[in-house]
Structure 1
Amino acid sequence: MEKPLRPPAEPESLDQLRGDCARMAPHWSVTSPSPVVVPVPPEALRGVRVPSRSARLLDGMSEYGD
Protein backbone atom coordinates (compact mmCIF):
# COMPACT_ATOMS: atom_id res chain seq x y z
CA MET A 1 0.00 0.00 0.00
CA GLU A 2 1.36 3.43 -0.96
CA LYS A 3 1.80 6.18 1.61
CA PRO A 4 -0.51 9.19 1.11
CA LEU A 5 1.14 12.32 -0.28
CA ARG A 6 1.93 14.91 2.35
CA PRO A 7 1.65 18.62 1.58
CA PRO A 8 4.98 20.49 1.50
CA ALA A 9 6.12 22.00 4.79
CA GLU A 10 5.48 25.68 5.38
CA PRO A 11 8.57 27.93 5.03
CA GLU A 12 10.12 28.73 8.37
CA SER A 13 11.64 32.06 7.41
CA LEU A 14 11.33 34.85 4.87
CA ASP A 15 14.69 33.82 3.39
CA GLN A 16 13.47 30.25 2.92
CA LEU A 17 10.26 31.49 1.28
CA ARG A 18 12.25 33.75 -1.06
CA GLY A 19 14.52 30.84 -1.96
CA ASP A 20 11.53 28.61 -2.69
CA CYS A 21 10.07 31.32 -4.94
CA ALA A 22 13.38 31.82 -6.76
CA ARG A 23 13.56 28.09 -7.52
CA MET A 24 10.00 28.16 -8.90
CA ALA A 25 10.49 31.33 -10.97
CA PRO A 26 11.88 29.57 -14.09
CA HIS A 27 8.61 27.60 -14.30
CA TRP A 28 6.47 30.73 -14.57
CA SER A 29 5.91 32.37 -17.92
CA VAL A 30 5.66 36.11 -18.38
CA THR A 31 2.81 37.15 -20.65
CA SER A 32 3.25 40.91 -20.54
CA PRO A 33 6.12 43.31 -19.91
CA SER A 34 6.63 44.48 -16.35
CA PRO A 35 4.92 47.77 -15.54
CA VAL A 36 7.10 50.79 -14.92
CA VAL A 37 7.32 51.41 -11.19
CA VAL A 38 7.53 55.05 -10.19
CA PRO A 39 8.59 55.75 -6.60
CA VAL A 40 6.06 57.70 -4.55
CA PRO A 41 7.39 60.37 -2.20
CA PRO A 42 6.38 59.84 1.44
CA GLU A 43 4.45 63.15 1.42
CA ALA A 44 2.02 61.63 -1.10
CA LEU A 45 1.02 58.89 1.35
CA ARG A 46 -1.06 61.15 3.57
CA GLY A 47 -4.20 59.54 4.90
CA VAL A 48 -2.97 55.97 4.48
CA ARG A 49 -4.03 53.93 7.48
CA VAL A 50 -2.81 50.49 8.47
CA PRO A 51 -5.24 48.50 10.61
CA SER A 52 -3.77 47.83 14.05
CA ARG A 53 -4.35 44.10 13.55
CA SER A 54 -2.11 44.14 10.44
CA ALA A 55 0.53 46.25 12.19
CA ARG A 56 0.59 43.80 15.14
CA LEU A 57 0.90 40.86 12.74
CA LEU A 58 3.95 42.40 11.05
CA ASP A 59 5.40 43.51 14.36
CA GLY A 60 5.25 39.91 15.56
CA MET A 61 7.29 38.69 12.57
CA SER A 62 10.96 38.80 13.42
CA GLU A 63 11.97 39.76 9.85
CA TYR A 64 9.79 42.88 10.05
CA GLY A 65 9.53 43.77 13.70
CA ASP A 66 13.14 43.64 14.82
Structure 2
Amino acid sequence: MTKYSVPREQYESEWSLAELRGDSARMAPHWAVPAEAAPAPVSPSLIHGVVVPPASARLIEATPEYGG
Protein backbone atom coordinates (compact mmCIF):
# COMPACT_ATOMS: atom_id res chain seq x y z
CA MET A 1 0.00 0.00 0.00
CA THR A 2 1.44 3.34 -1.03
CA LYS A 3 1.32 6.29 1.35
CA TYR A 4 1.31 9.77 -0.09
CA SER A 5 2.70 12.51 2.05
CA VAL A 6 1.02 15.81 1.27
CA PRO A 7 1.80 18.94 3.27
CA ARG A 8 -1.24 20.03 5.26
CA GLU A 9 -1.23 23.43 3.59
CA GLN A 10 -1.90 21.86 0.19
CA TYR A 11 -5.19 20.26 1.16
CA GLU A 12 -6.41 22.45 4.01
CA SER A 13 -6.54 26.22 3.86
CA GLU A 14 -6.53 28.40 6.95
CA TRP A 15 -10.09 29.42 6.06
CA SER A 16 -11.44 25.87 5.94
CA LEU A 17 -12.75 25.88 9.53
CA ALA A 18 -14.44 29.24 9.07
CA GLU A 19 -15.96 28.05 5.80
CA LEU A 20 -17.20 24.87 7.43
CA ARG A 21 -18.77 26.81 10.30
CA GLY A 22 -20.44 29.19 7.86
CA ASP A 23 -21.77 26.34 5.74
CA SER A 24 -23.07 24.60 8.86
CA ALA A 25 -24.79 27.76 10.09
CA ARG A 26 -26.54 28.15 6.73
CA MET A 27 -27.65 24.52 6.70
CA ALA A 28 -28.81 24.36 10.33
CA PRO A 29 -32.38 25.57 9.60
CA HIS A 30 -32.76 22.76 7.05
CA TRP A 31 -31.92 20.16 9.70
CA ALA A 32 -34.47 21.27 12.29
CA VAL A 33 -36.13 18.31 13.98
CA PRO A 34 -39.54 18.74 15.56
CA ALA A 35 -39.49 18.44 19.32
CA GLU A 36 -40.87 15.19 20.66
CA ALA A 37 -42.41 14.67 24.05
CA ALA A 38 -39.93 13.24 26.53
CA PRO A 39 -40.64 9.62 27.41
CA ALA A 40 -42.21 9.03 30.80
CA PRO A 41 -39.86 7.65 33.45
CA VAL A 42 -40.07 3.90 34.01
CA SER A 43 -40.04 2.40 37.46
CA PRO A 44 -36.98 0.20 38.04
CA SER A 45 -39.31 -2.62 39.12
CA LEU A 46 -40.67 -2.75 35.56
CA ILE A 47 -37.25 -3.25 33.96
CA HIS A 48 -36.56 -6.95 33.40
CA GLY A 49 -34.10 -8.97 31.40
CA VAL A 50 -31.15 -6.57 31.35
CA VAL A 51 -27.93 -8.56 31.16
CA VAL A 52 -24.52 -6.91 31.46
CA PRO A 53 -21.49 -8.96 30.42
CA PRO A 54 -18.91 -9.32 33.23
CA ALA A 55 -16.23 -7.51 31.20
CA SER A 56 -18.52 -4.51 30.75
CA ALA A 57 -19.43 -4.49 34.43
CA ARG A 58 -15.72 -4.50 35.35
CA LEU A 59 -15.05 -1.66 32.91
CA ILE A 60 -17.79 0.50 34.44
CA GLU A 61 -16.76 -0.43 37.96
CA ALA A 62 -13.19 0.70 37.17
CA THR A 63 -14.44 4.08 35.95
CA PRO A 64 -14.20 6.60 38.83
CA GLU A 65 -17.34 8.49 37.80
CA TYR A 66 -19.45 5.33 38.09
CA GLY A 67 -17.89 2.57 40.13
CA GLY A 68 -15.06 3.39 42.37
Tell me the TM-score range normalised by the shorter chain.
0.3 to 0.5
Larger radius of gyration: 2
TM-score, scaled to structure 1: 0.47
TM-score, scaled to structure 2: 0.46
Greater relative contact order (Cα < 8 A, sep 6+): 1
